[in-house]
Amino acid sequence: MPNAKLHLVTDVEFIFGEVERFLELEKQWFETKTAPDELVEAFLWELPHPTDSKRRITCGRAAVERLDMLASLAAQRAGIRSQIEVRTMRDPLAKSLLRRFALEGRPIEIREVERSFSEAARIARRSLKTITHFVPCHLMVAESPDQFQIGPITFLSRTAFRRMMASRLWPARSENRSSYKFIRDVTQYYRTFGWVAEVTVPDCDSKSSENAALRAVTQALDCMHLLFGPSHTSRMVIGGPGVRRDCRGQFTVQNEKVEFSASYSGLGEVGFADDWISMMDDHEAQEAVRLFGVALEMVVNPRLNRPISERFLDAVSWYGEAARERSAAAKVIKYVTSLERMLMTDEKDNITDLISRRIAAFCFDPSETGSLCNWEKKGQKLYGLRSKLVHGSISQRDERVAPGAWDAAEIGRAAILNALHAFGERGLRDEECTRVKVASWFNKVTRHAQSIASPRPRHAKC
């Protein structure tokens, strides 16, 4: 914009122009007893009255959208944009603008607009709270151990959660007596889940805190998909309907005779033994869980800005979506997208070769002859399958798609985990890392891998 401050004044003038225009339309309605179509739609878009909480001021959609842009900018200037919803800033900003320019009659100028920004930010800050959330989950049928932790997220078994919540509710039973029915209903809902995730989100408004908690728990589940593999975790889910078991049935007719079948299954994975936590005992798994925790710090604390952590969390989010996906074709696309998010840095040319080389650099075994070349071939084959699906060259029901999805899961898991270990805690916490630096580092890793790789068999080509 040639003059950003002048643009702020123009936006405020537009909002007040819309308020005045809809006031005229309302007068026309009372005079003619007919509501203009534009006014009827505009009733969905209103501003709070600056002095009367029971009244609203009609302004139309365009004005509210302009106000939301101003509210977002005000929150950004105050340094709380990542901690609040735009609506949290919208109402106090609207009240301040209306009071200054409508009730007090001050001129619409940049100094007064910026004072409204500061006033609205002070009010919005009062909504910032530290809240602990409890998110129900279907993980595994086994309820041991009582709890386990992935960074800032603690997963409690149903028994441990019930014990903890009872210790909190019992001392407050007298003051909660009027809410007994609601507490009972919520308790019954939580009982349908085998696990509950506990996560504390600091200094956010209520909605932003809830969103951060849900994202944090979902991303922790994505990390479990990555650690244990999708074949062992695909039935794990966060929240959802409060049902104890998945009951399904089917009617068919054959030779004029009705036949039927029914299936009953629990929600979550059933293949985990009671000592499943021992799978996390080896050094590599423990280090992966520790690094997961470092990355997840950015989710529960939205004020943190860590580019490498964000890169990993985005990649593992795609990986988790692929693991929970039912369509094999969609799995392939999402697994490859997770690899791109982890390993690409704005390159535009020769993407297939670039990604394949980076996959190979992170996954190959230096002691195995031709390992680098073999991994590069795997990457090229996977990328070729994804391209054919996306561009319509093959059907999503093609016989190559299902085995391709399994290969994609294996390749994605190996590449993302190995890249995570290579970035390490220092990389995950780095707040200054740019894409140019990451691209340069990827290139160094690729060259180093090529220099130490065992030579491929004679006449073999990558």
User: What is the distance between the alpha carbons of residues 357 and 378, in angstroms, rounded to a whole number?
Assistant: 10
Q: How many residues does the chain have?
A: 462
Does pLDDT of 407 surpass 50?
yes
User: What is the distance between the alpha carbons of residues 198 and 335, in angstroms, rounded to a whole number?
Assistant: 28
Mean pLDDT, all residues of the chain: 90
The predicted pLDDT at position 21 comes to 87
User: What is the distance between the alpha carbons of residues 343 and 356, in angstroms, rounded to a whole number?
Assistant: 10
Instruction: Output 329-334 pairs: Cβ under 8 A, ≥24 positions apart.
Output: 329/389, 329/396, 329/397, 329/401, 329/405, 330/396, 331/405, 331/408, 331/409, 332/382, 332/385, 332/386, 332/389, 332/401, 332/404, 332/405, 332/408, 333/386, 333/389, 333/390
User: What is the distance between the alpha carbons of residues 140 and 228, in angstroms, rounded to a whole number?
Assistant: 12
Helix (H, G, I), strand (E, B) or coil at 294: helix
pLDDT in tens, 106-146: 999 999 999 999 999 999 999 999 999 999 999 988 888 99
Contacts of 44 (CB under 8 A, 6+ apart): 61
The predicted pLDDT at position 45 comes to 83
The predicted pLDDT at position 424 comes to 96
Nearest in space to 194 (alpha carbons), one of 268, 127, 288: 268
pLDDT > 90: percent of the chain:
69
The predicted pLDDT at position 125 comes to 96
pLDDT in tens, 128-138: 999 999 999 99
User: What is the distance between the alpha carbons of residues 155 and 281, in angstroms, rounded to a whole number?
Assistant: 17
Nearest in space to 83 (alpha carbons), one of 184, 202, 226, 175: 202
* Helix axis angle, 158-169 to 180-191, nearest 10°: 170
Helix and strand totals (H; E) in the chain? 16, 9
Q: How confident is the model at residue 51 (pLDDT cuts 50, 70, 90)?
A: confident
Does pLDDT of 457 surpass 70?
no
48-52, 132-136, 327-331: least confident range: 48-52
Tokens of 344: 């690409």
The predicted pLDDT at position 32 comes to 77
Does pLDDT of 456 surpass 80?
no
DSSP per-residue letters across 317-355: HHHHHHHH---HHHHHHHHHHHHHHHH--S--SSHHHHH
Does pLDDT of 1 surpass 50?
no
Nearest in space to 45 (alpha carbons), one of 28, 64, 24: 64
Tokens of 100: 């200054």
